[in-house]
Amino acid sequence: MAKTWRIKLLVLGTSLILSLLGAELAFRLYLDWRRGQDLAQLEDNKSLTRVDTIYLGKIIRLSDKPDLIYELKPKLSGKYYGRRLTTNAAGLRGQRITAREKPPGVLRIVGIGDSYMFGQRVADGETYMDLLPRLLEPSIAPKRAEAINLAVPGYNTTMERASLEHKGMAYSPDMIVVGVVGNDWDLPDFMLEGPMVRPLGSVILGKLHQIFRGPPTLKPTPRSERAAHRFLHAKEAVPPRYRHMVGFSSFFRALGRIQRFAARAGAKVVLFSDCLPRSSSQVDCDFHYQPGEKRTLWQHLDRWGFTRCEWSLDPAQRFAQDGHPNAAGHRELARQLGRCIAPLLKRRGAAHLAAGRR
């Protein structure tokens, strides 16, 4: 009798283990399928150019450019988060500049960034890149300023570098403004795979953890589910083909390549951020540097000749839902950025005039 019970228990235990393994495999396959569906939907929506949506997938299309992954669709019109959104034939938001050749007497600023610079929840003409030229022109007269906004929601610094390389440098920038925010070491959520916490390596247990741990505290940038005080997603959530695009090494390499593009064009690079304070002892956006990484970054920023322009906003200048700047916040960001870069552009304009007289 005891032997029979042991056999039954063994059979039951084996069946349970096999069932759990089968469920684990099936759930992993489902997650892979769902991620593929998210990307495939971008392709399905590529012909949609009249929009009234809050979904990023409706305003972007897949890109064949290395590390760009996706880009704003050209010739968009309609609303995004209830505010007017248009793009030109080059896929640039609200952009009236159509000629890549820079006119005489113009100083061009190319901005690369994510949803902060893009202007999530604000209308065409209200972003700080839209407002910047008018603020600058009294300081740089007789030169004029043009700002070209390449920002796309969700981009990290590697994707921003790719945007500059494949698009921005064609506009012959005099200045490149890099909008650095707290999730620039990470990927957009739809490029991630599966639950990010995996007790015992199980994605099913990870999903249960997500369900029962309660809603995360609202923060202006994504919160890691592995460590509450960090923003970066757990490494296993990043598909292998994208792992070169995340973390400190990706951020550092991208800035180095931006510096090389700028040097070839004779352009000045400005990092506009609340993440890179002049004092390296300050807390900066929960970038979780490993020992020595912050010192390395600071040394190279100085060596590369980058200018750091810091910004800060009051809570009233942000949307409570997600921390993005509202219209008043964008006006304040334009003012802070303009005040920082006006002397640089004034010197640049003076150098252009002197060169023209020779």
| Better-predicted residue by pLDDT, 126 or 348 | 126
pLDDT one-digit tens code per residue, 149-161: 999 999 999 999 9
What is the average pLDDT across 27-45?
59
Query: 3-class secondary structure for 277-300?
Result: CCCCCCCCCCCCCCCCHHHHHHHH
* Degrees to nearest 5, angle at CA 126 with 120 and 132: 115
CATH class of 50-186+243-357: alpha beta
Count of residues in the chain: 358
pLDDT one-digit tens code per residue, 234-247: 666 778 888 899 99
Q: Which helix (H) or strand (E) holds 308?
A: strand 307-310
pLDDT one-digit tens code per residue, 188-236: 877 776 554 454 456 555 555 555 544 333 233 333 333 344 344 566 6
- DSSP characters for 177-203? EEEE-TTTTS--GGGS-S-S--GGG-H
What is the average pLDDT across 295-324?
94
pLDDT one-digit tens code per residue, 48-73: 789 999 999 899 998 989 999 999 99
pLDDT one-digit tens code per residue, 125-143: 999 999 999 999 999 999 9
| Better-predicted residue by pLDDT, 282 or 65 | 65
Q: What is the mean pLDDT of the chain?
A: 82
Q: How confident is the model at residue 98 (pLDDT cuts 50, 70, 90)?
A: low
- The domain ranges of the chain are 1-44, 50-186+243-357, 193-237
Q: How confident is the model at residue 184 (pLDDT cuts 50, 70, 90)?
A: very high
* Degrees to nearest 5, angle at CA 122 with 338 and 171: 50
Q: What is the pTM of this model?
A: 0.79
* Degrees to nearest 5, angle at CA 45 with 39 and 51: 125
Q: What percent of the chain has pLDDT over 90?
A: 56
